[in-house]
């Protein structure tokens, strides 16, 4: 099996996509495939599956993680379905639940999105004071590392 054929198998495509998700650029992926970067570009032109494996998967995963973090930060409602078996009767019971906002996810989101306001860097008492005020407003306990008041 030639080099090109090896990387068009499901296993080869999965590796290419994983390397792309990890942030490897074309030069690094070509090195890992033991080919020149020009050959890798040629594979992508010849095979749409290779192009798809190399294109944008990191951005897609980043967007999915970002969406999940935002969901945790804001809170969300969800349903659980449980089956109750009583002899031959099977009854499904749906329960609606709510996951409250997660303060740590909020801190992470704000510190990454607005580091100048919410950075929480050592010595940044103003940002920590705003976080404490937000926690107090939410009625949450002090969750800062060490649990010490400023």
Backbone φ, ψ for residue 24 (5° rounding): -70, 135
Confidence at residue 61, expressed as pLDDT on a 0 to 100 scale: 75
Q: Would you call 29 exposed, middle or buried from its count of C-beta atoms within 10 A (0-12, 13-18, 19+)?
A: buried
The SS3 of residue 36 is coil
pTM: 0.49
Residue 56: its pLDDT value, please? 64
CA 108, chain centre distance (Å): 13
Residues 6 or more apart whose Cβ sits within 8 Å of residue 29: 16, 19, 20, 40, 54
Spatial CB neighbours of 39, under 8 Å, sequence gap ≥ 6: 3, 30
Domain ranges of the chain: 3-55, 61-99, 103-138
Displacement of CA 58 from its chain's centroid (Å): 10
Q: How far, in Å, CA of 58 to CA of 76, rounded?
A: 26
CA distance 69 to 14: 25
Q: Which pLDDT belongs to residue 145?
A: 47
What pLDDT tens digit does each residue of the chain (150 aa) get? 578 889 999 999 999 999 988 878 889 999 999 999 999 999 999 999 999 998 866 677 778 889 999 999 999 999 999 998 888 889 999 999 999 999 999 988 888 888 888 875 544 556 666 666 666 666 654 444 444 444
pLDDT of residue 40: 94
């Amino acid at each position: 099996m030639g080099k090109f054929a090896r990387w068009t198998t499901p296993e080869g495509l999965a590796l290419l996509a994983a390397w792309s998700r990890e942030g490897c650029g074309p030069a690094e992926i070509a090195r890992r495939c033991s080919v020149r970067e020009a050959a890798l570009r040629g594979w992508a032109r010849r095979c749409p599956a290779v192009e798809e494996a190399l294109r944008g998967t990191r951005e897609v995963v980043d967007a999915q993680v970002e969406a999940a973090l935002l969901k945790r930060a804001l809170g969300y409602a969800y349903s659980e379905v449980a089956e109750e078996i009583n002899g031959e009767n099977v009854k499904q019971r749906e329960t609606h639940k709510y996951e409250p906002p997660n303060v740590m996810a909020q801190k992470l989101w704000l510190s990454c999105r607005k580091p100048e306001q919410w950075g929480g860097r050592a010595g940044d008492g103003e940002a920590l004071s705003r976080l404490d005020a937000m926690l107090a407003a939410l009625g949450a306990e002090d969750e800062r590392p060490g649990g010490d008041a400023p």
